[in-house]
Copies of this chain bind each other. A is one copy, B any other.
């Protein structure tokens, strides 16, 4: 074990502390402020751990947890792109590619490749684990919006029914049970005027 290897690992771990300063749109349950991406990543991992039995397919839960913990690290450079912001999503891929290169590149080569592959796998949604991680990643903010009621970011940004369904329906690819529940949340938000008809 070279000292250089440990040094690179620790520099990476200090650098990713900055994920605690990346602000998302969603508000925490206490309501006082918006959620940051580091605490969101922990919450996601807990969603995966508690809800794993609802996955449509058998999943390696360790693998799901690593996807939840790692996939948003690129936001340190690329920022959080609000899911319903069409123009910001236009160059999201390019910004995140550059971020992955710089951030994961701080690690020893084998670990850089490992992190890079996790991030790519998450984005591609082609494995059972990435489909389930995506499902909880889309469901968690929907739950927070549900709790926020009038203060939901859906209402704040005038999100419409077709937009919400487009964003959230991939939950069903990971878990039919969680998608069914999310649909009831969407319907209630529509009834309460937090999601616009169109």
Q: Look across to chain B and name the residue whose beta carbon is closest to the beta carbon of A63.
A: B62
Whether the pair A39, B62 counts as a contact (CB closer than 8 A) is: no
Q: Is A124 an interface residue (CB 8 A)?
A: no
Which interface residue of A49, A61, A107 has the most chain B CB atoms within 10 A?
A49
CB <8 Å contact, A29 and B6:
no
B contact residues around A28 at 8 Å (CB): 17, 20-21
Task: Check B20–A49 contact: CB distance below 8 A.
Answer: no
Stretch among A30-38, A93-101, A166-174 lining the B interface: A30-38
> Does the CB pair A177–B39 fall under 8 Å?
no
Q: CA of A179 to CA of B51 in the docked complex: distance in angstroms?
A: 36
Which of B6, B50, B51 is close to A54, meaning CB atoms less than 8 Å apart? B6
Q: Which of A2-25 contact B (CB under 8 A)?
A: 6, 9-10, 12-14, 16-21
Chain B residue numbers with a CB within 8 Å of A20 are 28, 30, 35, 39, 43
Docked Cα-Cα span, A111 to B18, in Å, equals 33
Question: Are A50 and B12 interface neighbours, CB within 8 A?
Answer: yes
Tell me which residues across on chain B come within 8 A of A29, comparing CB atoms: 14, 17-18
Which of A28, A43, A54 is the most central at the interface, judged by chain B CB atoms within 10 Å of its CB?
A43
- Residues of B close to A70: CB separation below 8 A: 46, 49
Q: Is A135 an interface residue (CB 8 A)?
A: no
Closest Cβ–Cβ distance, residue A156 to chain B (whole Å): 18
How many angstroms from the CA of A144 to the CA of B19 in the assembled complex? 14
